[in-house]
Structure 1
Amino acid sequence: MFPLKDENPTEKHPIITISLIIINVAVFIYTFVYGNAEQIINQYAMVPKQIVAMEELYTILTSMFLHGNIIHIVSNMWFLWIFGDNIEDLYGKSQFLLIYFGSGVLASIAHTLFNPTSLMPTIGASGAVAGILGAYIVKSPRANVITL
């Protein structure tokens, strides 16, 4: 099932959700249209073995803004758009950002714990978006979500 929209109206304009989508899309466009994608991904993607060695720790955050292809970014941003506005409305801007980035960081740490010797670069906002989706399910378990 692929969500098309939810029937869970919000009271406030989701400025943080929209800002995150704009930033992610801008980074994607820069990476693949104007930048050297391979170099950017190698520099800013998270590599578990480097994290275990306490090297390149900033990549735990920067990797959340990189996406490998159009399907990757569109699916992540679509889910963020559908569910993020409600979580931002319920929790407020600061708490929303804490959930988003906290979930992304925890997902990266979990991935590193399960793959400590991996040299495979890890990218994407999937962990952060999954945290938003989890918060949505907890806070709006009876919300009607229209799916394809």
Structure 2
Amino acid sequence: MIPISDENPTLRTPVMTYLLLASLAVVFVVVQGAGQGYPLIASVCNWGMVPGELTHLAPVGLHVPMSPGVDCVIDTEAKNIFTPLTSMFLHGGWAHLLGNSLYLWVFGNNVEDSLGRFRFLAFYILCGLAAALTHVVLNGASPVPTVGASGAISGVLGGYLVLYPRIRVRTYFPPVFLFHVPAWFVLVFWFGEQVLTGLPELSPMRRDASGGVAVWAHVGGFVAGVVLVKLFENHALVRRRTALGEARAVWE
């Protein structure tokens, strides 16, 4: 199930959503070499979040194979403290980047429209940090770098669920079906899928059950979005959106 668009016009141009999308693309192309070879691996090793480095539970000097002949090495550099933030702007490949960008494109503009540009940025970053914290708590000794905007974007999805649960979302059901379904259905289904995928990870016997995806970071980001979005809501913008919706209803 893949969301394509929603029936939810905005009052203002979603400048911050566009800037975030642009920053993800620029970082991937310029810093990560568009996903090619050494620049990708180096960026993930140097600026990805390694739970074991933050908790100091991973042994210093441990080598984590990334590709033939190239390893990440656990260290104690001061920059590691910034990796929960820097990792939000890195991705592991084109599919990772495009998937995250699609969800931010579909759902970010309307959340920004109710929060305002800078509140939305703060909300986005806090949700990403909450997602990172969730991953660290559940994988404190992991030496594996984690990258991606998924945690922050999960917070945007949680915020959208609270703000616009009944808005209809144009959704693609592979291989050929396209439906307009309520946002709550899309988002609750997505959240349930993350939880079900992550449950086996809680068993020490099956730590790789999610296939390397940090699904509990998604869960943590989504819950943070649900909890925080009303605190960041701009009431003046919400009133304008409500008035616009009522005016459209009269004309229809």
Alignment length (residue pairs): 148
Letter in 1 for 2:55: V
The residue that corresponds to 1:22 in the other structure is: 22
Distance 2:40 2:2 in 1: 29
Distance 1:94 1:17 in 2: 10
Deviations 1:85-126 (A, max 9, x none): 000001101221122101100000110000000000000000
Moved over 2 A (4+): 32-35
The residue that corresponds to 2:98 in the other structure is: 74
Deviations 1:10-54 (A, max 9, x none): 010000000000000011112124872211111000000111138
Distance 1:37 1:124 in 2: 13
Distance 1:109 1:92 in 2: 25
Note if 1:50 corresponds to 2:53: yes
The farther-off stretch of 92-101 and 67-76 is 92-101
Distance 1:27 1:94 in 2: 21
Q: What is the TM-score when the length of structure 1 is the normalising length?
A: 0.96
The farther-off stretch of 36-45 and 131-140 is 36-45
Gaps spanning 5+ residues in structure 2: where?
57-75, 173-252
Gaps spanning 5+ residues in structure 1: where?
none
The residue that corresponds to 2:144 in the other structure is: 120
Distance 1:109 1:57 in 2: 12
The residue that corresponds to 2:13 in the other structure is: 13
Q: What is the TM-score when the length of structure 2 is the normalising length?
A: 0.57
The residue that corresponds to 2:131 in the other structure is: 107
Q: Is the radius of gyration larger for structure 1 or structure 2?
A: 2
Question: Structure 1 or 2: larger strand share?
Answer: 2
Which of the pair has the greater relative contact order for Cα pairs under 8 Å at 6+ separation?
1
The residue that corresponds to 2:195 in the other structure is: none
The residue that corresponds to 1:140 in the other structure is: 164
Distance 2:12 2:148 in 1: 27
The residue that corresponds to 2:120 in the other structure is: 96
The residue that corresponds to 2:33 in the other structure is: 32
The secondary structure found in structure 2 opposite 1:82 is helix
